[in-house]
Amino acid sequence: MSSSPASSSSQSQSRRRGLLIACLITLWYSSNIGVILLNKYLLSNYGFRFPIFLTMCHMTACALLSYASIVFLKLVPLQVIKSRPQFLKIATLSVVFCASVVGGNVSLRYLPVSFNQAVGATTPFFTAVFAYLMTFKREAWITYAALIPVVTGVIIASGGEPSFHMFGFIMCIGATAARAFKSVLQGVLLSSEGEKLNSMNLLLYMSPIAVVVLLPSTLVMEPNVLEVILALGKDHKFMWLLLIANSATAYVANLSNFLVTKHTSALTLQVLGNAKGAVAVVISILLFRNPVTVMGIGGYTITVLGVVAYGEAKRRFK
């Protein structure tokens, strides 16, 4: 019995959609893991010890490439800022975003990628805390219970981390908290249908503000950045290419994050993010040969399982 033309067309569209999603997830994984590893290589193994300037390079690339993607490639329609309050909301988000990215980059100077990812997996814990404090939104008790292993796993991993560094740990926790705060703040500040921006347009407007915020910080806290970079460029002929590739990869990571969310869901993105963290841990250990212990691996595993349980609880009780 042959299938109808409509059924064949539906199956063909389903296969194409599945292939598209698989390609987008692959792009998201590779770009996210790539930018993390490139950041680690630049900041710890290459002598490029300027995390604020590196973040500014990322934001500059995001501004330029977002403009090209929206205006020339027309991936999404260009949205305009409609009011001064809306601009202030975007600026606030941009400052918080800067804090999360700079904190993450600073932590990579002191911590291995594996432990950095373990701490980053606690983002749902901070998100739940900030959501309650800012919106008084309560979740089901089982949802909060699922966060217990998330925190416990990081505590165990910290005790078993041979390369543990207190300042790096504090910066990583701060970056994770800022990332969660930014997520909640975005939902609160840009909830009005009349002012809501899609992710790509939000990135377009946030990135230049981030550059303006980061430039004076770079000049004050990293005053010799240009001198050292020029010297590194002379000693390492591929340094500039590596920096450009790193910045472009940061934009692709943001873009692919938006596209995966668009074609799947936020919950799917969270679950996939947990798996991405595990993949990044394995790759970083293979590349950088940082020492690991059974206790550290066990703690990270508990954290990942806790986040998966949290996502499942959110899905069932939302």
User: Where is pLDDT greater, at 52 or 158?
Assistant: 52
pLDDT of residue 58: 93
Q: What CA–CA distances, in Å, run from 167 to 101, 151, 172, 174?
A: 16, 19, 9, 10
Helices (DSSP H) in the chain: which residue ranges? 5-40, 51-67, 84-107, 113-120, 123-135, 141-145, 147-159, 166-189, 199-221, 225-235, 239-263, 266-288, 294-317
Q: Measured between alpha carbons, how far is 146 from 150 in angstroms, rounded to an integer?
A: 7
Q: What is the pTM of this model?
A: 0.75
* Nearest residue to 207 (alpha-carbon basis) of 28, 32, 50, 66: 66
CB 50 within 8 A of CB 58: no
Band the pLDDT of 278: cuts 50, 70, 90.
low
Helices (DSSP H) in 160-265: which residue ranges? 166-189, 199-221, 225-235, 239-263
pLDDT of residue 183: 75
pLDDT in tens, 182-232: 877 776 665 666 667 777 888 899 999 999 999 998 998 898 888 888 888
pLDDT in tens, 161-176: 777 889 999 999 999 8
pLDDT in tens, 218-276: 998 898 888 888 888 888 878 888 899 999 999 998 778 777 766 765 545 555 666 66
Q: Measured between alpha carbons, how far is 105 from 128 in angstroms, rounded to an integer?
A: 24
